[in-house]
């Protein structure tokens, strides 16, 4: 089968032929239809310090996908050939304290699909049946391909109740844009999103943000009077991983405010703990999705009218992977999709 492979340590990725995997006991073989490019894939393709520490080559990359089940292994129930499925890319041990307690997203031995084991940027992928999410309702394949990052956005945006609250989202990447749309859909009073990219700020506004703020030219505190806010934001969603974004967020939270942090910093972040303490703020780290409460919430949100499709801005065939990666890296895009049923799209 064809697959995008990180063949050796160093920059680059190549489309090559590799053996088609087989479904063993408890596993599912899936024909991949669409995949989404994630920031993690960009790190691996460029071979930065994180990738050099975390990835062993050769490796089929990719973890955001939708496909069709073609074969199930022995002992698999509730998943059948022909099902349209997405996959949970965190493979857990099932035996640690958190797994045994049903808190699988907290598994200390989590393995990442397309990071620590062969992934989904290929014509076929094998997953444990317990990591397969069957779409029981009609869904656009491109949207189903980004259920993984959509889940990150849902997990973060709904970490705290947002109904009637003023929400600040720092970082208008695809997950930040989706988080803003989710918060607005869930009843937030105002949703302010910050970034420095005019392209992404405009797209975030179209997806439901009340205010899209270029923080290179305007302060967060400066927009509060126009929105009738006097004490600060009730909920913060930090999606950028930037130190200055978290510091600005802490400085503009109301007393008792709650912050969900998904953005992963590249280095240590100094935090004004005096403000955290005296304003009695809550900071909660978010990693991945709750298995499978978040997945259920994703499906329900789409069925209730949430539309995240505008976040998908570019589509390519699998032979156009270099162009797809370059587009994703440019920042002048939302989510970038690779179609594994076609070599090239016009």
Has 286 been labeled as part of a binding site? yes
Has 308 been labeled as part of a binding site? no
Has 64 been labeled as part of a binding site? yes
On whether the CB atoms of residues 245 and 168 are closer than 8 A, the answer is: no
Has 227 been labeled as part of a binding site? no
Has 195 been labeled as part of a binding site? yes
Has 259 been labeled as part of a binding site? no
Q: Catalytic: which of 16, 20, 43, 116?
A: 43
Task: Collect all residues with Cβ–Cβ distance below 8 Å to 154 and sequence separation of at least 6.
Answer: 178, 182, 289, 294, 297, 298, 301
Has 107 been labeled as part of a binding site? yes
Has 38 been labeled as part of a binding site? yes
Has 124 been labeled as part of a binding site? no
Has 262 been labeled as part of a binding site? yes
Has 263 been labeled as part of a binding site? yes
On whether the CB atoms of residues 153 and 36 are closer than 8 A, the answer is: no
Distance (Å, whole) CA 47 – CA 32: 25
State whether residue 126 is helix, strand or coil: strand
What are the CA-CA distances from residue 325 to residues 15, 138, 319 (Å)? 13, 29, 12
Distance (Å, whole) CA 68 – CA 33: 7
Q: Catalytic: which of 40, 110, 156, 170?
A: 40
Residue 188: which of 229, 147, 222, 245 has the closest Cα? 229
Has 43 been annotated as catalytic?
yes
On whether the CB atoms of residues 35 and 64 are closer than 8 A, the answer is: yes
Binding site feature residues for Zn(2+): 38, 63-64, 93, 96, 99, 107
Active-site residue list: 40, 43
Binding-site residues for NAD(+), please?
175, 195, 200, 262-264, 286-287
Q: Which residue positions form the known binding site?
A: 38, 63-64, 93, 96, 99, 107, 175, 195, 200, 262-264, 286-287
């Amino acid at each position: 089968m064809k697959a995008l492979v990180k063949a050796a340590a160093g920059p680059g990725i190549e489309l090559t032929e590799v053996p088609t995997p087989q479904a063993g006991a408890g596993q599912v073989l899936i024909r991949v239809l669409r995949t989404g490019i994630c920031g993690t894939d960009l790190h691996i393709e460029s071979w930065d310090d994180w990738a050099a520490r975390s990835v062993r080559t050769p490796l089929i990359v990719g973890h955001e996908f939708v496909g069709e089940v073609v074969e199930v292994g022995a002992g698999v129930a509730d998943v059948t050939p022909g099902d349209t499925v997405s996959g949970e890319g965190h493979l857990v041990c099932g035996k640690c304290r958190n797994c045994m307690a049903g808190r699988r997203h907290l598994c200390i031995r989590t393995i990442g699909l397309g990071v620590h084991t062969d992934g989904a940027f290929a014509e076929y992928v094998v997953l444990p049946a317990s990591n397969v999410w069957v779409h029981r309702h009609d869904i656009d394949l491109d949207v189903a391909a980004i259920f993984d990052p959509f889940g990150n956005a849902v997990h973060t945006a709904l970490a705290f109740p947002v109904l009637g609250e003023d929400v600040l989202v720092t970082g208008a990447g695809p997950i930040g844009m989706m988080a803003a749309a989710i918060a607005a859909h869930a009843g937030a009073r105002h949703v302010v999103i910050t970034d420095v990219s005019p392209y992404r700020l405009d797209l975030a506004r179209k997806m439901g943000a009340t205010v899209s703020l270029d923080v290179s030219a305007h302060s967060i505190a400066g927009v509060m009077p126009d929105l009738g806010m006097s004490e600060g934001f009730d909920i913060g969603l930090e999606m950028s991983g930037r130190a200055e974004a978290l510091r600005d967020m802490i400085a503009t939270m109301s007393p008792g405010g709650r912050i969900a942090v998904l953005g992963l910093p590249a280095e240590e972040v100094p935090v004004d703990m005096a403000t955290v303490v005296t304003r009695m703020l809550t900071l909660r780290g978010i990693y991945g999705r709750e298995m499978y409460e978040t997945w259920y919430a994703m499906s329900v949100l789409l069925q209730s009218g949430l539309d995240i499709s505008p976040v998908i801005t570019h589509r390519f065939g699998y032979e156009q992977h270099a162009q797809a990666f370059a587009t994703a890296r440019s920042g002048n895009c939302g989510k970038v999709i690779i179609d594994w049923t076609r070599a090239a799209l016009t």
